[in-house]
Structure 1
């Protein structure tokens, strides 16, 4: 197994030691450098090669972890580590691999690293060449997002939602209804925000008011999609995008 080379960025020595102690139990995890702030982290990214993941605190002096992440054009995968849950939504907008709320367990730490490992495996398959686009697409869809989750502001709390549980998202005025198999959440966001956040190989905008999970589609008939006994309209301008995702013309 290729070692996972990581950068730890946190202004708290205790938080650095926690990750160090966890890393000692994982032979495939290598801490390349520990940084006390974003300025040191920027220097590390310029001097160290092949960083696979950054463990990044959010609340830091001079430059927050979120601002630092936004400033990077070609950042390695980022796992945010913070004591504050209210930043979870913004971290997923930045396409973070995961969001660990302090104090986090060794089990939760390992789960985040597994997501990094899967990204590395997909990248290795893609760079090796000789693999058809169809196979690459299926590998990516199966490994890159199906076990990921997002946090949304709903019902007065930050609610964790597994992407694999989402059936569809419906825009209703100035809020959205996120429909899961056994429940529906209401969130004051827009479909445009969700469209940017969700993986394009797993979700597609099919109407001005609907985004659907491709893997949850039961049937397509005429101008409608069937998901869990509910028919969703297909907007004319969105039909080409749907056809491209499901592989039809």
Structure 2
């Protein structure tokens, strides 16, 4: 069962979503919240909640802002009367983006994207990792495109955002580096420092860094990434011999 929280400041909207979810026996609605503050309290008190339906336009704190704070193993779906927030929603790795009034078929499509069971219910130690074919909707200037995770060479912490380096240029997502790290397979990505996560297969060379004991990871596109002294040995082990 997916223990589920509905967050919407409109009572009628919550009631309608509850009605639609009754058709899905694997969904158990355990709580409702009419604000981000209330949602935070519920999530703190009920750590077994695994799925959240979020309205976007709410007083005080928007659903987008709340989603950026959610723990990494939570799945969330945005439900809103506006379609203008879709890019921001998918930049936050939302499971889906539903426009009100919600169509039952679209809701079913969203739920079909969930794993077989929530993390913790079965052996899902790697269930929360995004697969390499997962697409992120990223913005490049005035244009947007879907970029596969396999195409991304680096994530860099930039304040409250993270820069994403791709063959098409640099983009940004409204998510912290630590949150991104929780969704990346450590077999594919390596945390070089507090500021950088790099794709292992993109590394072409390792060179001594400026600081004693540090190193530079040289990527295929020529980027030179500082590897903290703390991470150097672990990186060398990844490229160890027989």
Q: TM-score, normalised by structure 1?
A: 0.58
Deviations 1:41-62, CA, capped at 9 Å, x for gaps: 4565477673222211121124
Q: What whole-Å deviation, never above 9, does each CA across 1:75-111 have from its counterpart, x for those lacking one? A: 9543333335447548856xx5535152566565456
Aligned 1:1-249 pairs, distance under 5 A: 3-12=1-10, 15-16=13-14, 19-42=17-40, 44-45=42-43, 50-69=48-67, 76-82=74-80, 83=82, 85-86=84-85, 88-89=87-88, 97-103=94-100, 109-110=107-108, 112-113=110-111, 116-117=114-115, 120-121=118-119, 124-125=122-123, 136=125, 140=126, 144-146=129-131, 148-163=134-149, 165-169=150-154, 178-180=165-167, 184-187=168-171, 197-198=180-181, 199-200=183-184, 201=186, 202-204=188-190, 212-214=198-200, 217=201, 237=228, 239-243=232-236, 246=238, 248=240
Partner of 1:130: none
SS of alignment partner, residue 24 of structure 2: coil
- Seen in structure 2, the aligned counterparts of structure 1 residues 236 and 89 have a Cα distance that, compared at 3 Å, is same
How far does the alpha carbon of each residue in 1:117-156 deviate from its partner, in whole angstroms, 9 at most, with x for none? Answer: 3672466326xxxxxxxxx5xxx1x652116443433131
CA distance in 2 between partners of 1:185 and 1:203 (Å):
19
C-alpha distance in structure 2 between counterparts of 1:73 and 1:176, whole Å? 20
Aligned residues of 1:8 and 1:16 also touching (Cα < 8 A): yes
User: If the length of structure 2 is used for normalisation, what is the TM-score?
Assistant: 0.59
Q: 1:154 to 1:19 in 2, by over 3 A?
A: farther
Are the equivalent residues in 2 in contact too, given 1:150–1:162 (CA < 8 A)? yes
Q: Secondary structure at the match of 1:197?
A: helix
Q: How many residues align?
A: 219
Unaligned residue ranges in structure 1 (runs of 5+): 127-135
The one of the two structures with greater contact order (alpha-carbon pairs below 8 A, sep at least 6) is 2
* More displaced 10-residue stretch of structure 1: 78-87 or 27-36: 78-87
Aligned alpha-carbon RMSD (Å): 4.9
The whole-number CA distance in structure 2 between the counterparts of 1:84 and 1:45 is 27
